Amino acid sequence: MELIFEKFVLDITGGAIVIPPWITMLVSLAIVLVFIALNAMFMIWLERKICGRIQRRPGPMLTGSKAMAQFSMWTGGWLQTPCDSFKLIFKEDIIPSRVDRFGFILAPILVFMAALAVYVPMPWSATSYSQPGLTTLAIADLNIGILYIVAIPSLTILSIVTAGWSSNNKYSLLGGLRSGMQMLSYEIPMMFALLGPVVLAGSLSLGDIVKVQSQGFFGIPLAGWFIVPSFIGGLVYFICAIAESNRPPFDMPESEQELVAGFNTEYTAMRFAMFYLAEFSNCFVVSTVFTVVFLGGWSLPYFTPPAALDLGIFTLPYFDLICGVLIFAAKAYAVVLLLMWIRWTYPRLRPDHLMNFCWKFLLPLAIGNLIICTIIAGLQQLYLGGS
């Protein structure tokens, strides 16, 4: 495991300061923490605005300045989520007397741990486009990236089930059980859907998967994105991703008509905020995984940015790196928008339909996709030789 960040800092300081690994770890942790909080705030604002747009209303408009509200529907109420966050921070933290304290306190910690840990192998960008042996900008480009990405969410399931059980509340318990059932089931077609690209790329590392996609497919640049050879897999992963992040139309765990608020009924203030943050963070993470595995990550066909951009006055270093991050973010947020569009368009499924859909439809489809991908990978090896 190589801490790319460490090298990056070395590069900036010109090797003058050697940063010990624990500092780089702390710095990357802090970056991810700040990112999760800010990103969740942005996504909540976006969600409410899009929800409003779809339901033909402006969404939150009052918090923030009047001028911003008069300027446009999208800028009005821009201060709403920061205010909501402050409210959550200052609210009283209530632990009901009959709950199981150990599990009740442990669950939000676990769910946030999982949300944090998933960011470790995420390839934000390439450190250099032009070099042949390009490295990825990640906290650590694990060579088991995909496995790690699918293994960590099991911690989320565990924490949701724990929260449901320890709340000592029938609705919470049912919500937790439903959620566990749903997430465990949808994990299986999701893994099979991700196996297709793994076979095509011949690697489990997220960085390698992006690199293979940027090379094109039989000489066609855009077709190198795995959404082309493994279109069914992409579709299955996308559906499973919605179910994994517990978002409507798969939000059985917190269907409010039946279960009050599901597993987090008894949670208040920051403990509740932990679940909420983790949910939005997971929503973003599944979008990034979709981007990395199926949409070519930070790569863009016909586009290789120079290592440094000459602006006349000064040269902008790490231009390719910044471009990569921007491309990656653009793709990821496009997928996030798609997720939100689906959320506000489709009604909720019934639990038994949900299970049938997973086991009888998605799983065979995903396995079929894996077979197709294997055949394509074999043909590729036959024609192009090597690798």
Partner 1 sequence: MTFHPNPIAFWLLALMVIGCALAVVNTKKVFHSGLCLVGCFFGIAGLYALLDSPFMAGLEILVYVGAIAMLILFAIMFTHKMMTPEPGTVFARPWIAAFISLVLFGVLAGCLAYSGFYPDTSQIASTEMDLRQSSSAQSVVLLGNRMLNPFVLPFELASVMILAAMIGSIVLARKEEDQPEPKEN
Give me the residues that bind partner 1 (CB under 8 A), please.
Answer: 1, 100, 102-103, 106, 142-144, 147-148, 150-155, 157-158, 161-162, 165-166, 168, 173, 177, 180, 184, 187, 204, 352
Q: Which is nearer to partner 1, 87 or 101 (CB)?
A: 101
Measured distance CA(133)–CA(138) in Å, rounded? 15
Cβ–Cβ < 8 Å for 210, 264: no
Q: Which is nearer to partner 1, 286 or 340 (CB)?
A: 286
Shortest distance in whole angstroms from residue 147 CB to partner 1: 4
Q: Which is nearer to partner 1, 174 or 277 (CB)?
A: 174
Measured distance CA(355)–CA(366) in Å, rounded? 15
Backbone angles phi, psi at 16, to 5 degrees: -70, -40
Shortest distance in whole angstroms from residue 164 CB to partner 1: 9
Shortest distance in whole angstroms from residue 68 CB to partner 1: 45
Shortest distance in whole angstroms from residue 127 CB to partner 1: 18
Shortest distance in whole angstroms from residue 176 CB to partner 1: 8
Q: Which is nearer to partner 1, 204 or 236 (CB)?
A: 204
Q: Which is nearer to partner 1, 15 or 133 (CB)?
A: 133
- Nearest Cα neighbor of 78 from 88, 66, 90 is 66
Instruction: Determine the residue type at 26.
Output: L
Q: Which is nearer to partner 1, 100 or 258 (CB)?
A: 100
Backbone angles phi, psi at 316, to 5 degrees: -85, 110
Q: Which is nearer to partner 1, 295 or 377 (CB)?
A: 377
Residue/partner pairs of 210-218 with CB below 8 Å, 24 or more apart: 210/123, 210/126, 210/136, 210/292, 210/296, 210/297, 210/298, 210/299, 211/134, 211/299, 213/296, 213/297, 213/299, 214/296, 214/297, 214/299, 216/301, 217/380, 218/380, 218/383, 218/384
Measured distance CA(84)–CA(78) in Å, rounded? 11
Shortest distance in whole angstroms from residue 181 CB to partner 1: 8
Q: What is the largest CA-CA distance in the chain?
A: 68
Q: Which is nearer to partner 1, 142 or 339 (CB)?
A: 142
DSSP notation for 190-232: HHHHHHHHHHHHT-S-HHHHHHHHHT-BTTBSGGGSTTTTTHH
Shortest distance in whole angstroms from residue 230 CB to partner 1: 20
Exposed/middle/buried for 196, CB within 10 Å: 0-12, 13-18, 19+? buried
Shortest distance in whole angstroms from residue 143 CB to partner 1: 6
